[in-house]
Amino acid sequence: MKNPMLITPLLSTVIALSAFAQQSNSNSTTQPAASADQTTSSLRDSGSSQDFWDGDEPSLGALITHPFASKAYVRRHVQPIRDRIAELDELNENQSKTIRDVDSRTQQGIQLASAKASIADEHAEEAARKADAAKQTTAGLNTRVDADEKAFANIDQYKTGAQTEIRFRPGQTVLSKQAKDALDEMAAQLKNQRGYIIEVQGFSAGQGHTAIANSRKMADSVVRYLVLNHEVPAYRIYVIGMGNSSASKSASGTRVEVSLLKNDIEQVAKQ
């Protein structure tokens, strides 16, 4: 009976120790599990608040629990950079196109301005040539005008040329053959001539109005011959009856003096 009584307390002690040991093991197992759950939750919270790749020095838990970078992850983080680079490239291309357009317009403007400048230079040169020609023409005209002014200033200044004396008998007005030959010789010099005057002065014997009338009749006979036979314009003939201008009353005073007077108008016309 002593042996069973001793065995019963011993078994009870062993069972109690086993139960205590199991409880201790259970607590120790539960505590590390809870601690591990808390650690995982803390790491997950920290990962949600701060990305693993955003930090310069990730924690040990982040290194253990963070997944490896996938293509989608990398693409998600790299795509904004690519979009920004594409935007900058587009801006650069637009800017380059604008610069090319401005440069093209500038070159066209320069070429157009150069062409207009060339045309303006040609017009200026042409105007200068015309101005020089006009200046030379003006100088020539001034010289000609000066010469003409000098010539026309003396247009009424006649110089005495050929002279012929026609003799008449007292009371006679008909021209003799000798008188006609003298007038023919003078008129031959006047053909196609300009700037001349024929002065016809009649002288008659006697006194007073009778002598003047007779001298005028003789002078008129000379004028008629020149106008009708040699077509000398009447406006070029100046006629005057002088009467008796000699001191004596002899018949030698009956005559007609024909004088040719010329100016420089013909020389001016030939210049």
Q: 138-190 pLDDT, tens per residue?
A: 888 878 777 666 666 666 677 888 889 999 888 788 999 999 999 999 998 88
Q: List Cβ neighbours of 181 (8 Å cut-off, separation of 6 or more).
A: none
Q: Of the spans 66-75, 111-120, 200-209, 223-232, which averages the highest pLDDT?
A: 223-232
63-117 per-position pLDDT tens digit? 555 555 567 777 777 888 888 898 898 888 898 889 988 988 898 889 888 888 8
pLDDT mean across residues, the chain:
75
What does the domain layout of the chain look like in residue ranges? 2-52, 75-153, 159-270
Average pLDDT of 3-31? 55
Helix axes of 177-188 and 208-230: crossing angle, nearest 10 degrees: 60
231: left (phi over 0), alpha (psi -120 to 50) or beta: left
Calpha distance 225→232 (Å, rounded)? 9
Phi, then psi, of 44 in degrees rounded to 5: -65, -40
CA count, 13 A, side-chain hemisphere, 88:
6
Instruction: Please state which CATH number belongs to domain 159-270.
Output: 3.30.1330.60
Of 161, 156, 179, the C-alpha closest to 260 is: 161
Residue 29's pLDDT is 46
Q: Are 214 and 226 in contact (CB under 8 A)?
A: no
Q: Chain centroid to CA 1: how far?
A: 148
Q: What is the pTM of this model?
A: 0.44
